[in-house]
Amino acid sequence: MKRDPFVMELPQQVIVGRGVLRELGEALQSRGFKDPLFVVGKYTSRFAEGDKLLVERPSKEFLDGVDVDGHDVIVGIGGGKNLDSAKYLSLKSGRPYVLVPTLPSSDGISSPSVSLFSSSGRISLIHRPPLFILMDEEVLSSAPKKYILSGYGDVIAKYSSLYDWWLGHVRTGEYYGYLTSRLGHFAIEHATSARTYLFTPEGVHVLLESLILSGGLIGIQRSSRPASGSEHLISHALDILHLREGRELVPHGIQTGIATVFTSYLQGRNWRWVRGVLDEANFPTTLREAGIDPDLFVDAVLLAPHLRRRHTILHEKKLNRHEVYKILQEVELI
Cα dist. 291→98, 194, 238 in Å?
32, 24, 11
Please name which of 103, 98, 110 lies closest in space to residue 26, comparing C-alpha atoms: 98
- What string marks each residue from 1 to 40 as x (binds Zn ion by CB under 5 A) or -? ----------------------------------------
Taking the complex as a whole, how short is the minimal distance between the CB of residue 331 and Zn ion, in angstroms?
20
Of 27 and 210, CB closest to Zn ion: 210
- Residue with the CB atom nearest Zn ion in the bound state: 154
Of 28 and 109, CB closest to Zn ion: 109
- Does residue 84 touch Zn ion according to CB under 5 A? no
Taking the complex as a whole, how short is the minimal distance between the CB of residue 183 and Zn ion, in angstroms?
16
- What string marks each residue from 205 to 244 as x (binds Zn ion by CB under 5 A) or -? ----------------------------------------
Instruction: Please tell me the chain's helix, strand, coil percentages from 3-state DSSP, rounded to the nearest 5.
Output: 50, 15, 35
Element housing 173 (H / E):
none
Taking the complex as a whole, how short is the minimal distance between the CB of residue 277 and Zn ion, in angstroms?
17
Taking the complex as a whole, how short is the minimal distance between the CB of residue 51 and Zn ion, in angstroms?
30
94-153 residues in contact with Zn ion (CB under 5 A) are: 106
How many angstroms separate the CA atoms of 281 and 197, rounded?
8
One-letter-per-residue 3-state SS of 98-143: EEEECCCCCHHHCCCEEEEEECCEEEEEECCCCCEEEEEHHHHCCC
Cα torsion angle, 114, 156, 219, 197, sign? positive
Of 37 and 234, CB closest to Zn ion: 234
Taking the complex as a whole, how short is the minimal distance between the CB of residue 69 and Zn ion, in angstroms?
32
How many angstroms separate the CA atoms of 69 and 87, rounded?
16
What is the number of other CB atoms lying within 10 angstroms of the CB of residue 82? 27
Of 136 and 154, CB closest to Zn ion: 154
Taking the complex as a whole, how short is the minimal distance between the CB of residue 232 and Zn ion, in angstroms?
6
Of 47 and 223, CB closest to Zn ion: 223
Of 68 and 111, CB closest to Zn ion: 111
Of 125 and 334, CB closest to Zn ion: 125
Assign 265 to helix, strand or coil.
helix
Using the rule CB under 5 A, which residue among 84, 136, 137, 154 binds Zn ion? 154
How many angstroms separate the CA atoms of 66 and 178, rounded?
40
Taking the complex as a whole, how short is the minimal distance between the CB of residue 108 and Zn ion, in angstroms?
7
Give the contacts of 60 (CB within 8 A, at least 6 positions apart): 88, 116, 117, 118, 119, 123
Q: Which residues bind Zn ion (CB under 5 A)?
A: 106, 154
